[in-house]
Amino acid sequence: MTASDAPTAAWTGRLTGSGAGVSALVATAIVIADMIGVGVFTSLGFQVKDIPSGFSILALWTVGGVVALCGVFSYSELGAMFPRSSGEYNFLGRAYHPAFGFLAGWVSATVGFAAPVALAAMAFGEYAKSVIPDLPPIPLAIGVVWLVSIVQLTGVRHSSTFQLISTILKVVLIVAFLVAGFVIGAPQPISFAPQAGDIAHIVSAPFAIGLVFVMYSFSGWNAATYIIGEMNTPQQSLPRALLAGTLIVLVLYVALNAVFLYSTPVGALAGQIDVASVAGSAIFGNLGGRIVGAMICVGLISSISAMMWIGPRVMMTMGEDIPSLRVFSKRSANGAPAYAILFQLAVANLLLFTRSFEAVLDFIQFALLFCSFFTVAGVIKLRITDPDLPRPYRAWGYPFTPLVFLLVTAFMMYYLLTERPLQSLAGMLVMLSGLLIYAVFRRRPAAAATSHNRE
């Protein structure tokens, strides 16, 4: 039996040794927590400069959510077909070739999650400083990553409780902010009803470019696919979690942008990166910045928790398949992939200490989009090449929904290639390095098996 054949049971089994599996509610919380970071609190200032229309801005965020839902339908079909943790590593390996899966897994397991964790932790430190000015950002960033990692090391049950509570608190605070904005905020002269010039805004280049950054804010809609192997009844729970989580975030994103525009003069928002603090000051007065900073800090804890949960599952699953990485597949008595969690913790800390996470994020964006593109394309491929495979869930709106996602993702990759060619090239080189490492890792077990057979 080859290394690629060895983990046959793992393709469909739930994480052993973890006790109770992850419920659909917790999986939904992971999706919400992973999606809502700082993007929605920082994007509007640049969008409103070129799209000074309330209806067009809300349409922009609605379109972004619809595109994310198109991805949800395709990932749900693949996840129900191949209910194994690790996301694109699993899907690309099954739809195309294990080498393609390793390419995606290599990016995700090394820096694909560690860099966003470091960025979110750094943002936590900065926002905490806005609440209490004397707090040092770097130690706070490192401390929150360690705290969340310790929770993850305690096992799935405690991780589920922590994730659920922190995500519910995040959503409650956002809803409270929305209610306060519409009740206390001074209404601005902006209309959310369609106007004569809105069609021109929606078909304009700024709208298309704005959609690229809106889609970054929606990234994370696929978070639950990284823990399929830990979910109860994944064929039913995964589609529900992805759909519910993405719909909730879509509503919250549209509502947040509406309250920003409703409560704050457009001129005060235009060109500002910290639009949430600007809106907070407009709503709550001098304490507004601190109130918003505290709200974002709480929200970032749940985001870091989600990424520290799902990221190590990629390395864990790769360790199940590849003997050279077997150490990362080892789980503690409570089911936590301890070595994989510690590895991601070490990388995130290294990125924080060197302040290199922003550069890493720049060059992995293209690689992550590339993997998502071919994952959704894999749904179409498998419908053609393997029409008889069992499909407990079939993508809604096929083939139109996958095609919508592919078109938008292709545009995003084209934008990155033209606007950030060096960073995109670096991302491609990282993927190619993954293929070289895959060849080395696969050759070793093959040689060992040959030697064993000769004996």
Cβ burial, residue 4 (10 Å; 0-12/13-18/19+): middle
Cα(153)–Cα(308) distance, rounded to whole angstroms?
A: 10
pLDDT for residue 169 is more than 90: yes
pLDDT at position 443: 65
105, amino acid identity: G
pLDDT at position 176: 96
Average pLDDT of the residues in 241-252? 98
Structure tokens at 156: 């799935």
pLDDT at position 20: 54
In this predicted model, what pLDDT tens digit does every residue of 94-109 receive, in sequence order?
Answer: 999 999 999 999 999 9
Average pLDDT of the residues in 267-273? 90
Tell me the range of 45-49, 200-204, 306-310 where mean pLDDT is highest.
Answer: 306-310
3-state SS, residue 44: helix
Q: Name the more confident of 363 and 199.
A: 199
In this predicted model, what pLDDT tens digit does every residue of 249-259 receive, in sequence order?
Answer: 999 999 999 99
Q: Taking the C-alpha atoms of 436, 441, 443 and 445 in order, what is their torsion angle to the nearest 10 degrees?
A: -170
Taken in order 35, 40, 43, 48, is the CA torsion positive or negative?
positive
pLDDT for residue 308 is more than 50: yes
Average pLDDT value for the chain: 90
Kindly calculate the radius of gyration of the chain based on its CA atoms and give it in whole angstroms.
Answer: 22
Neighbours of 129 (CB within 10 A): 16
pLDDT at position 96: 96
pLDDT for residue 448 is more than 80: no
Structure letter (DSSP) for residue 13: P
> 296-314 burial string, b = 16+ CB within 10 Å, else e?
bbbbbbbbbbbbbbbbbbb
pLDDT for residue 284 is more than 60: yes
pLDDT at position 363: 83
pLDDT for residue 310 is more than 90: yes
Q: Name the more confident of 222 and 196.
A: 222
pLDDT for residue 430 is more than 90: no
pLDDT at position 17: 38
Domains annotated for the chain, with CATH where assigned, are 22-443 (1.20.1740.10)
Q: Name the more confident of 10 and 242.
A: 242
In this predicted model, what pLDDT tens digit does every residue of 54-79 receive, in sequence order?
Answer: 999 999 999 999 999 999 999 999 99
By the 8 A CB rule, do 135 and 1 touch? no
Structure letter (DSSP) for residue 111: I
Helices and strands (H and E) in the chain: how many: 18, 0
pLDDT at position 444: 58
Average pLDDT of the residues in 333-354? 94
Least confident residue range of 199-213, 293-307, 355-369: 355-369
Alpha helices (H) in 132-233, listed in sequence order: 137-153, 156-184, 198-202, 205-218
pLDDT at position 346: 97
pLDDT at position 197: 86
Cα(90)–Cα(258) distance, rounded to whole angstroms?
A: 38
Distance set, CA 84 to CA 15, 72, 204, 231, 429 (Å): 9, 16, 41, 9, 27
Residue that the structure tokens 């929770």 belong to: 151
Average pLDDT of the residues in 380-405? 97
pLDDT for residue 267 is more than 60: yes
Query: CA triplet 293, 297, 300: central angle to 5 degrees?
Result: 135
pLDDT for residue 453 is more than 90: no
